[in-house]
Chains A and B, each alone.
Chain A
Amino acid sequence: AQSVTQLGSHVSVSEGALVLLRCNYSSSVPPYLFWYVQYPNQGLQLLLKYTTGATLVKGINGFEAEFKKSETSFHLTKPSAHMSDAAEYFCAVSRNTPLVFGKGTRLSVIA
């Protein structure tokens, strides 16, 4: 069985500060890992994904994530937060299975 834990249901950062959203996963097979973003009253948009190969993955809007097998983590980072980054972020895991999502982290950006 696969599962995802997102540490922190709400993260607040100042505009221009580093964004760090934490995700730990559990999987009995090498996982595929995803980060999705959800803006208010919208569906999910793929930010980035890891399947195989390079463990540092770059996505859209300046976000990146690093797959660390030894720590079973896939944390999402962005060097400098923008007001437009305020949204709900979901980490998800799969591997020949349906996506299993974490509960999400709401990111607030303070001017």
Chain B
Amino acid sequence: ETGVTQSPTHLIKTRGQQVTLRCSSQSGHNTVSWYQQALGQGPQFIFQYYREEENGRGNFPPRFSGLQFPNYSSELNVNALELDDSALYLCASSSGLAEETQYFGPGTRLLVL
């Protein structure tokens, strides 16, 4: 059984660019959540996908968008990057909406210059 994986591990972009981050869920998990962790802070919820449908969103602007695919892998897209988007982006998977335990990937560290 493989755990949650994310790619790439590190990324450098400039303001105004667009970025796509990828996540592969743990085997058997159909729910994925994305979090942003700024330096020195706890993770903040961006959104969640359940069986390819968005199932909740945190206080993030529409330029943060996502997709979940039939194999339950997922993407986080961020358009018009801003300096404050620099953070560690974490993906977490779980086995269903009622399953509270989320299993996290190692994260993608994004630096916006």
Interface set of A (CB-CB < 8 Å, partner B)? 4, 32, 34, 36, 42-46, 49, 51, 90, 92, 94-104
How many A-B residue pairs lie within 8 Å, measured between CB atoms?
Answer: 54
Interface check B33, CB cutoff 8 A: yes
Q: Shortest Cβ distance from A65 into chain B, in angstroms?
A: 15
Kindly report which residue of chain A lies nearest to residue B55, judged by CB atoms. Answer: A98
By a CB distance below 8 angstroms, the chain A residues around B98 are 96
Cα separation A104 to B107 with both chains bound (whole Å): 17
Q: Are B48 and A103 in contact (CB under 8 A)?
A: no
Asked if B100 and A49 sit within 8 Å, CB to CB, the answer is yes
Interface of A is mostly: strand
Q: Name 27 interchain pairs, CB-CB below 8 A, sorted by A.
A: A32-B100, A36-B104, A42-B107, A43-B105, A43-B106, A44-B90, A44-B92, A44-B104, A45-B104, A49-B100, A90-B43, A92-B42, A94-B100, A96-B97, A96-B98, A97-B56, A98-B33, A98-B45, A98-B48, A99-B33, A99-B43, A101-B43, A102-B42, A103-B40, A103-B41, A103-B42, A104-B42
Q: Say yes or no: A46 contacts B33, CB within 8 Å.
A: no
B58 lies within 8 A of chain A by Cβ: yes
Q: Do B100 and A44 touch (CB < 8 A)?
A: no
Asked if B27 is at the interface (CB within 8 A of a chain A CB), the reply is no
Which 7 A/B pairs are nearest by Cβ-Cβ distance? Answer: A101-B42, A98-B45, A44-B104, A43-B104, A43-B106, A32-B100, A43-B107
Residues of A within 8 A of B106 (CB): 42-43
In angstroms, Cα B35 to Cα A22, docked, is 23
